[in-house]
Amino acid sequence: IYTMGVDIGSTASKSVILENGKKIVATAVVDVGAGTSGPSRVMSEVLEKANLTMDDISFTMATGYGRNALEEADMQMSELSCHAKGAHFLFPNVHTIIDIGGQDAKALKIGDGGHLENFVMNDKCAAGTGRFLDVIARVLEVDVSDLQDLDAKATKDVTISSTCTVFAESEVISQLAKGTKIEDIVKGIHYSIASRVGSLAKRIGLKDDVVFTGGVALNKGMVRALEQNTGYKIHTSPMCQLNGALGAALFAYQKQRNLERKSKKLV
Amino acid sequence: IYTMGVDIGSTASKSVILENGKKIVATAVVDVGAGTSGPSRVMSEVLEKANLTMDDISFTMATGYGRNALEEADMQMSELSCHAKGAHFLFPNVHTIIDIGGQDAKALKIGDGGHLENFVMNDKCAAGTGRFLDVIARVLEVDVSDLQDLDAKATKDVTISSTCTVFAESEVISQLAKGTKIEDIVKGIHYSIASRVGSLAKRIGLKDDVVFTGGVALNKGMVRALEQNTGYKIHTSPMCQLNGALGAALFAYQKQRNLERKSKKLV
Ligand code: SF4
């Protein structure tokens, strides 16, 4: 049995194909999200990588911000449940998920069985989200993907005192004018986000294993900053951006099995 | 007796010269604030307009964010007290001041005699401050000073649902892409700021006369938006940006009179 999970976020579309609810057959990420060609492109891409067609997929589960617009899906599920499910597959001992996405940040409390117990979320303020990194990267004239390498080269601690993205942008401009090195500024920015998101996570309480997901989790500088801020070992995986799609594919497998059981009873 | 008030803000320097604590002799505004040449330029300018030199000034009072760096000042006073004083001079019946500056917003509760009773302030979040207008004007490729004329031309109500400056900026970009008229967007932005600042003011309670000060008070679109949001008649004056400097000059006059009384007793 093949099942597919599709996670349509605000800034990216992600998909995972799973075999028998256990083996990841293929994954794909497209850098545009809801309301674009992203969802259909990510599905073609993941099918091609798996060397399958839509007819081979038993059940497709959509999640994420744009999940209701995906006509190909058999069902939709909340991204929070999918995140919990995906992280529990990758890290069976997960109890806290910190997720920083393109324009929100959330912290999830996960029970022993991998179910969602509680969560807190910020989607009102750009500070502490991926958007903050986008804004600062633009000012520094670097690519967001370069931020982790820059952070690794930092030699001095620079404090960005404004929490607001807009005021922090001005602070960065005046640091540049003072001759502060870009790498030191980048490290300061990572600490700033870590402090915002760390406070968010502390509201639900942290417990090992702490798993960091979402696109921003690919940035090792952010991982280090979060470890320093929270005092916990932070687990990530190259799959971290695909966590929601993975959870959706896992739920798709469960649904498919339930359907099969029911149809057997009917026969 | 001539006294001088100098208000050194984050984005502008303002000065007022007063004769006998009653008559405004000259005023000046320079568009750069603390840490620049603004303070000394605004002082030269106001002296020149009054046709006076520093020797003619009996007492100089500095106020505002950069007040402690002004060596020429005889004394420093908090900007909140100066704002209350200045507004009471211009509007003897003032009981509420709403001040929107370049990077903060505050609401002051004023007692019958013109003294400060209470205040609330936002200087942590760019939303609801002049900075929000700067960011949006940049995206719309218009000058901040054009915003009120654009607002006056608006024919449709556009709601900007994000309160965050950064997210609102993206909303404005997608409104532009949808073909929404700039003037309608500008009006929506004014409502957005009014709703933030209105909520701030409601925390201390509004009472007539409500006086709107700070650089943003020069924008008639903002005045209308605040009237609609609060339900109060909003009073402004072309002097509204000079309110802090005016209050400082008034306090300077009081201090000078006290000094004179003391020295007479000594003789
Ligand atoms: S603090 Fe800054 S980033 Fe946060 S909501 Fe306000 S304007 Fe947006």
* Per-domain residue ranges of chain B: 2-84+242-266, 93-236
A170: nearest CA in chain B?
A: B131
Query: Which pLDDT does position B267 carry in this prediction?
Result: 67
A chain contacts of residue B132, beta-carbon cutoff 8 Å: 166
- pLDDT 10s digits, A90-134: 999 999 999 998 889 999 999 988 889 999 999 999 999 999 999
Residue to mutate, B166, B169, B172, B200, ligand 1, most ligand atoms under 8 Å from C-beta: B166
Query: Which pLDDT does position B35 carry in this prediction?
Result: 80
Nearest Cα residue to A188 out of A227, A147, A217, A218: A147
- Kindly report the protein residue whose alpha carbon is nearest to atom 6 of ligand 1: B125
Token pair in block for residue A175: 């640091």
- pLDDT 10s digits, A213-266: 988 998 999 999 999 999 999 999 988 889 999 999 999 999 999 988 888 877
Q: In what order do the strands lie in the sheet with B23-30?
A: B23-30, B13-19, B2-8, B57-63, B75-76
SS3 B122: strand
B93-236 fold: Nucleotidyltransferase; domain 5 (3.30.420)
For an interface test with A, which of B132, B135, B167, B171 has the most A Cβ atoms less than 10 Å from its Cβ?
B167
Query: Which pLDDT does position B11 carry in this prediction?
Result: 82
Rounded Cα distance between A39 and A241, Å, is 15
Find out whether B250 and B63 touch, Cβ atoms under 8 Å: no
The domains spanning A2-84+242-266 and A92-236 adopt the same CATH topology: yes
Name the band, by pLDDT with cuts 50, 70 and 90, for residue A138: very high
Ligand 1 atom with the shortest distance to the CA of A127: 3
Name the band, by pLDDT with cuts 50, 70 and 90, for residue A142: very high
Mean pLDDT for A1-16 is 93
Total Cβ atoms within 10 A of residue B127? 25
- For domain A92-236, the CATH class is alpha beta
B 105-134: CB under 8 A from A: 124-126, 131-132
Query: Which pLDDT does position B124 carry in this prediction?
Result: 93
Element (DSSP H or E) covering residue A160: none
CB-defined site of ligand 1, < 6 Å: A 125-127, 164-166; B 125-127, 164-166
* Per-residue buried b or exposed e for A156-179, using 16+ beta carbons within 10 Å of the residue's own CB: eebebebbbbbbbbbbbeebeeee
Instruction: Please say whether the dihedral angle defined by the alpha carbons of residues B76, B81, B84 and B85, taken in this order, is positive or negative.
Output: negative
Q: Cβ separation of A126 and B164 shorter than 8 Å?
A: yes
Q: Cβ separation of B131 and A103 shorter than 8 Å?
A: no
* Residues of chain B falling short of pLDDT 50: none
What are the distances in angstroms from CA B135 to CA A36, A172, B127, B144, B170?
26, 16, 10, 9, 11
Helices B165-177 and B182-204 pack at an angle, to 10 degrees, of 160
Element (DSSP H or E) covering residue B84: helix B79-90
Q: In what order do the strands lie in the sheet with B234-235?
A: B116-122, B105-110, B96-100, B210-213, B234-235
B 141-180: CB under 8 A from A: 162-167
Query: Which pLDDT does position A267 carry in this prediction?
Result: 66
Query: Which pLDDT does position B189 carry in this prediction?
Result: 95
Within 13 Å, how many C-alpha atoms sit on residue A77's CB side? 25
Architecture of domain B2-84+242-266 in this structure = 2-Layer Sandwich (3.30)
